[in-house]
Amino acid sequence: MSGNSLRRFPGTGLMAVFFFAFLYLPVAVLIALSFNENRSATIWTGFTIDWYFRIFENRDIVAAAINSVIVATAATIFSTLIATIAALGMARDRFPGQAAVSSTIALPLIVPEIITAVATLIFFVGIGLSLGLGTVILAHVVFCIPFAYLPIRARLEGMDRRLADAAADLYADEWQTFRRVTLPLLWPGILSGALLAFITSLDDFVITFFVSGPGASTLPLYIFSSIRIGISPEINAISSVMLVVSILFVSLSFLIGRRG
């Protein structure tokens, strides 16, 4: 049927090639220029990997990377914990307003991120909370909950509920059933959601830009502030590293989530 569709609409394949080239060719160029030995990012003079070593010698990049890891780790732990509790609660017997609760959990995926960022900033200012690394963590926890929730919820939907009933027939209480039956089966979904939450927090720029304060710069903020004065192979190198890390985490999340 797909072949008939392509024959029915000539040029579809060419448009698909143009679309993916427009989307990914700049990324490929960025990675290639990160190996450029010239200080100018746009003039190729030779191959080198020195820029990848220099990013570890740059104190500002190292400090931003540490902040990013701290924020992403804290956001992952708390958002995954909340998402797991929410998924377990939603998987139990249906209750009035369940659809509304489910929609509310997924709301950050639908609402434009800029609106979430502005609303979060207004909330923090309204309650008198000083902007810093703590506010970034709080904002990221809320933003990452649906990313952790969806794989966990999908895993619960695919579980055989008769296993829990069998555990109850063997005189296991709710805690024993959760620890010995539900949690081992749910663990791939939890890990998959945690990986998605981590990389979402690590790569986030918009929310971090609005709710961060002095000393709370993360890697995306550092890259944004650096490109204002020009793009260098050093920026291309750190961007390439973040790209590889993102692909790795998303791939691991996908593979772990598919485990039977």
What residue ranges define each of the domains in the chain, with the CATH number in brackets?
A: 2-33 (no CATH), 57-257 (1.10.3720.10)
Most confident listed range (17-31, 47-61, 199-213): 199-213
- At residue 234, the pLDDT reads 84
Cα 107 from Cα 152, distance rounded (Å): 17
The whole-model pTM stands at 0.83
As a whole number, mean pLDDT of residues 238-242 equals 89
* 14 vs 195, higher pLDDT: 195
Considering only 11-15, 21-25, 48-52, 218-222, which range has the smallest mean pLDDT?
11-15
- At residue 143, the pLDDT reads 92
As a whole number, mean pLDDT of residues 149-167 equals 77
Nearest Cα neighbor of 110 from 147, 84, 136 is: 147
- At residue 194, the pLDDT reads 93
Q: Where are the alpha helices (DSSP H) in 34-129?
A: 50-54, 59-91, 98-105, 107-110, 113-126
As a whole number, mean pLDDT of residues 251-256 equals 85
Beta pairing partners, 36: 47
- At residue 198, the pLDDT reads 95
* 27 vs 94, higher pLDDT: 27
Contacts for 63 with CB less than 8 Å, ≥ 6 apart: 217
pLDDT tops 70 at residue 160 = no
Cα 53 from Cα 46, distance rounded (Å): 17
Tens-place pLDDT, residues 56-69: 888 888 999 999 99
Nearest Cα neighbor of 207 from 198, 195, 220 is: 220
pLDDT tops 70 at residue 107 = yes
Q: How many CB atoms lie within 10 A of CB 207?
A: 23
* 157 vs 147, higher pLDDT: 147
pLDDT tops 90 at residue 39 = no
Contacts for 45 with CB less than 8 Å, ≥ 6 apart: 36, 37, 38
User: CA 213, 217, 221 angle in degrees (round to 5)?
Assistant: 115
- At residue 191, the pLDDT reads 92
pLDDT tops 70 at residue 14 = yes
- At residue 172, the pLDDT reads 67
